[in-house]
Amino acid sequence: MQAPERPSSARLVLPHAGDPDSQRRTPEWKWQLARAVRSARELGEHLALSDAERAGAERAEREGFPLAITPYYLSLVDGSDPRCPIRRQVVPHVAERETTRGDLVDPLGEVAHEVAPDLVQRYPDRALVLATDRCAVYCRFCTRSRMVGGGSGTRSVEHLSAAFEWLAGHPEVRDVIVSGGDPLTLATDRLVAVIERLRQIESIETIRLATRVPVVLPHRITAELLSALAPFHPLWVMTHFNHPKELTPLARAGLERLANAGFPVMNQSVLLRGVNDDAAVLAELFRGLTRCRARPYYLLQADPAKGTGHLRTPIGAGIAIMEQLWGRLSGIALPKLVVDTPGGFGKVPIGPDYVIERRPGVTRFRTPRGVEVEYFDPAAE
Ligand SMILES: *Cc1c(COP(=O)(O)O)cnc(C)c1O
């Protein structure tokens, strides 16, 4: 297995070289976080930036939603191709300052649905904990760009105590999603403290870790992390691969380790203009994920987060792609296309309509093979 090249100027002295602990090599994932590219100047040293990208990067550095790219993820960018699908996801563009019709600062109405500090509830049986506002990489289409990267970083267990109390008082919540920011950027003991506290609430059945770390920092999926989390199963991992180029040998090995350690892995892709709005690209991605035992779960219409109009597709584009994939891709490799409705009213499935006609007792379908067939309801009793 060949590790991707590190960008050359990233070959620097390891951080913490003077630690008393320096005998023990700094784990690669911490090195990656410490060396993440965070300024327009550094980014310009790695890539020949267009004027629009340079202006975007300078703006990101100055105001609002920051820039960060791990050396690993940056190494996947094709420096000679301005349309590179990895590049479009993480290199800021000056178009981020534009507002498109329908754009919202908080597209999923999370502030309005916050039931305790950093606890969002939009469904009766599920809730979302924002365990940190930091990510390894800041995706330019982020639905939570209003809050990530800007604030106080990791939320301590004390800070989250009101959230835990709320959950303990609401036993109807059986499924808790730990998100952020990216919970896998937390130190292992911090993450374990949060999960351990959640596990003390008996009404919580499943816990999900919503993370892009398997994509942008697969080195984080260490044996140490997996054995620290293993006592808290059922723990599901919701990851976020968007393009087959992201399924590198390192990323595939990370998925393999998660699956071997008993984590069901579900993937949520976001449909993005110029990145993956193509049936062949998505088919390759979904097949690749399935081979790694990561189930393509959702293909999400991009949320109308402010300044993301240049990365979004019309609703019809996703439906047309699903039409091309349905019946041609194994059911276990085909995600549901969903729109997370603006305002936070929940996700709705969309897709091609196979029902041509409905009469009393008879439904007429078109099939993926182009044949029309009728289904007769049973006689009423
Ligand atoms: C998407 C989401 C969920 C979970 O949705 P599922 O369809 O169960 O995967 C829960 N809470 C919030 C706030 C969400 O955004």
Q: Active site residue: 347, 354, 364, 366, which one?
A: 347
Pocket of ligand 1 (CB under 6 A): 108, 120, 122-123, 126, 128, 177, 347
Annotated catalytic residue 292: no
Instruction: Report which ligand 1 atom has the smallest distance to the Cα of 268.
Output: 9
Query: Domain ends where: 97, 124, 150?
Result: 97
Q: What is the pLDDT of residues 69-83, one digit of tens each?
A: 999 999 999 988 889
In the chain, what percentage of residues exceed pLDDT 70? 94
Same domain, 140 and 219: yes
Give the pLDDT band (50/70/90) at residue 24.
low
Instruction: Report which ligand 1 atom has the smallest distance to the Cα of 298.
Output: 9
Q: What is the mean pLDDT of the chain?
A: 93
The answer to whether the CB of 36 falls within 8 A of the CB of 69 is: yes
- Residue for token digits 């596990």? 199
Same domain, 156 and 274: yes
Q: What is the pLDDT of residues 178-219, one digit of tens each?
A: 999 999 999 999 999 999 999 999 999 999 999 999 999 999
Q: What CATH number did the domain enclosing 178 receive? A: 3.20.20.70
**251: in domain:** yes
Same domain, 197 and 219: yes
| Ligand 1 midpoint to CA 34 (Å) | 31
Provide mean pLDDT across the span 335-351. Answer: 97
Q: Active site residue: 87, 144, 155, 208, which one?
A: 144
Annotated catalytic residue 375: no
Confidence check: pLDDT of 331 > 80:
yes
Residue identifier of the C-alpha nearest atom 8 of ligand 1: 126
Bridge partners (DSSP) listed for residue 208: 177, 236
Q: What is the pLDDT of residues 147-164, one digit of tens each?
A: 998 777 888 889 999 999
Confidence check: pLDDT of 15 > 60:
no
Q: What is the pLDDT of residue 333?
A: 98
Provide mean pLDDT across the span 167-184. Answer: 97
Nearest-angstrom CA–CA distance, 336 and 226? 29
Q: Residue 129 sits in which domain range?
A: 114-344
Q: Report which of residues 380 and 174 the model is more confident about.
A: 174
Of residues 94, 83, 97, the one with CA closest to residue 47: 83
Same domain, 205 and 338: yes
Same domain, 121 and 27: no
**16: in domain:** yes
**212: in domain:** yes
Same domain, 92 and 123: no
Same domain, 150 and 41: no
Q: What is the pLDDT of residues 235-247, one digit of tens each?
A: 999 999 999 999 9
By most ligand atoms within 8 Å of CB, the mutation choice from 177, 237, 301 for ligand 1 is: 177
**63: in domain:** yes
Tell whether pTM > 0.85.
yes
Q: Active site residue: 59, 88, 122, 245, which one?
A: 122
Token pair belonging to 192: 């374990």
Nearest-angstrom CA–CA distance, 107 and 122? 13
| Ligand 1 midpoint to CA 127 (Å) | 8
Q: What is the pLDDT of residues 91-108, one digit of tens each?
A: 999 999 999 999 999 999
By most ligand atoms within 8 Å of CB, the mutation choice from 113, 115, 126 for ligand 1 is: 126
- Residue for token digits 């500090």? 117
Q: Active site residue: 30, 38, 97, 126, which one?
A: 126
Give the pLDDT band (50/70/90) at residue 12.
very low
Q: Total structural domains in the chain?
A: 3
